[in-house]
Amino acid sequence: MNQASVLQMLVVPVIAIAVAAVARRRGWPVPLLLVSAGLVLSPLVPEYELDAELVLLVFLPPLLYSAAIDSSYLRLKAVLRPVALLSVGLVLFTTLVIGWVVHLLMPGLPMAAAFALGAIVAPPDAVAAVAVARRLGLPRKVVTILVGESLFNDATALTAYRVAIAAAVGAGVTWLDAAGKLLYSAVGGVVVGVALAWVLARGLVYLRDALVENTVMLLIPFAVYLAAESAHVSGVIAVVIVGLYIGHRLPSTAGFGTRILSNAVWRIVDFFLESVVFVLIGLQLWPITQELRGEDPWRLTGMALAVFAAAVLARIVWVVPSIYLPRILSRRVRRREPHAPSWQNVAIVSWAGMRGVVSLAAAFALPQGFPGRDTLVFLTFVVVIGTLLIQGLSFPALIRRLKISNEQEVYADNLAEAAAQQAAAAAGLARLETLVAEGVIDVHEEVVEQLRSRSERRALTAWERLGGGTGPEGEETPSTVYRRLRREMLAAEREVLVRLRDQGRMDDEVLHRIMQELDFEEATLERV
């Protein structure tokens, strides 16, 4: 590989990171700006055609795994019914609706090929929606539903896609075969995921090295995905199951170093991969349109608008009755879920149907010679770009218009945190008093007082967030003053340390060791 090839490979990541950095600094929606940048730059870098295998084998597993370990198994369990209705029911419903619409628009296209397009554009990618939802403070349940849907819907869509491809190329697949393949893929993915999760979680415990543990965790999504796909079951479900299991166990089994490093590692991985993915989506404009030279642009535009409208409307048509009808028809559902979701939350979920790179990758993976391949790829591109830009750009305005917020949840979280901090502090102080009373550790009273003060300060800080102990209006709380003054002290300490290093009175290795201690202390000030 020569230097020119390396530079060519670096173009997209450099552009993606630069655009994402600007968007983050300005507070703009990062995914939408990245897609727009890709669209503008597409004619300038026409050689960047999406590699389907690259997306499905390199990008998809770590993104799914990262989302899973960051998700809450308990919260997902609480919204299992709506997540299942969206990730399975809605995907299959959208596949049928779009397949029927495409068949009407292109009568000469085999029905199986039309359903293949339906499966391709059926799964929404919640990255853009969740980013906006968290920034604008949507209720946690809505965010959990959107995340849960995005974790599992790719499995349903990719299985339906493979069945439709097999039928379109004359493999003689019946409806019963299709249902069997879908069930086998899903159940097999769960079985493989649970088995690997159990083995991997216990293996990580024995490593007891933060650097090694996180290096292994970087390899886990790829290994799990390939293992499941080799067994002809859903790699997507297997990766998600493993991620949820390991993420659920991290707080109790991993050391503090592993957790700190894991959070940093996966934030970087997410930022890099998502930035590159969204730029790549926009960059497909030029190669896709070049394949359609000679086609009637008005006919293509009409078909694209029809398929886009079908994708948007299918979600709305499915979401509203799927949320309310079970409550009307089942007393058990009403008893298990006593509070009906507000129509505002239902409207948000209905509009959060932005498609992503998995749809484009599936379209590009259509075999050469597949009936209507170039047109199907173009229609997929329009649906992806249309939902990202139209729904994505209007999503924040819709949230503000409906006046949805999570203020009550924030207050409840602060209350729960204050109570938990007080209980934890009490347990820690009790343990300290026991050790001192038993004489297990020979310690000076000054050390004991410092430990008591630190523990009590953490508990009081949590209550201050609720408004207690804040003093007169406009006056800083004691913990705020403490953090501000300590940061100033740390800054002065760092200046001295760097000056001593520059004067040759201290080695860089010593500087890094001391600076790391100061950095950890400053990191704790964010939550003290």
Mean pLDDT of the chain: 85
What are the residues facing 124 on neighbouring strands? Answer: 355
pLDDT for 443 equals 65
Gap between the terminal Cα atoms of the chain: 51
The string of pLDDT tens digits covering residues 167-206 is 887 666 666 777 888 889 999 999 999 999 999 999 998 8
Is residue 528 predicted with pLDDT exceeding 60? no
| DSSP per-residue letters across 180-226 | HHHHHHHHHHHHHHHHHHHHHHHHHHHH--HHHHHHHHHHHHHHHHH
pLDDT for 524 equals 74
In sequence order, which residues have a C-beta less than 8 Å from that of residue 438 and are 6 or more positions away? none
Q: Are 263 and 217 in contact (CB under 8 A)?
A: no
In sequence order, which residues have a C-beta less than 8 Å from that of residue 8 and are 6 or more positions away? 47
Give the number of other CB atoms < 10 A from CB of residue 271. Answer: 16
Determine the average pLDDT of the residues in 228-251. Answer: 93
Two structure tokens written together for 299? 């006919």
Q: In which band, very low, low, confident or very high, does the pLDDT at 470 lie, cut at 50, 70 and 90?
A: very low
81: phi then psi, degrees, rounded to nearest 5? -65, -55
pLDDT for 369 equals 86
Locus of tokens 């390899």: 219
Of residues 262 and 407, more confidence is placed in 262
| DSSP per-residue letters across 13-28 | HHHHHHHHHHHHHHT-
The string of pLDDT tens digits covering residues 68-79 is 998 888 889 888
Would residue 504 be called left, alpha or beta, if left means φ above 0 and alpha means ψ between -120 and 50 degrees? left
Two structure tokens written together for 512? 């890094």
Give the CA distances from residue 520 to residues 215, 265, 417, in Å, rounded to whole numbers and listed in that order.
Answer: 21, 16, 22
User: Out of 98-102, 154-158, 177-181, 410-414, which region has the weakest mean confidence (pLDDT)?
Assistant: 410-414
Q: In which band, very low, low, confident or very high, does the pLDDT at 477 lie, cut at 50, 70 and 90?
A: low
Q: Where are the domains of the chain?
A: 3-405, 407-469, 473-528
pLDDT for 469 equals 45
Supply the DSSP symbol for 368.
T
CATH 1.20.1530.20 at 3-405, yes or no = yes
Closest among 151, 156, 160 to 239, alpha carbons compared: 151
Determine the average pLDDT of the residues in 9-36. Answer: 89
Burial class (CB in 10 A: 0-12, 13-18, 19+), 222: middle
User: How much of the chain, in percent, has pLDDT values that exceed 70?
Assistant: 89
The string of pLDDT tens digits covering residues 325-366 is 888 888 888 888 777 788 999 999 999 989 988 999 999 999
124: phi then psi, degrees, rounded to nearest 5? -70, 155
Is residue 229 predicted with pLDDT exceeding 50? yes
Distance CA 437, CA 460 (A): 25
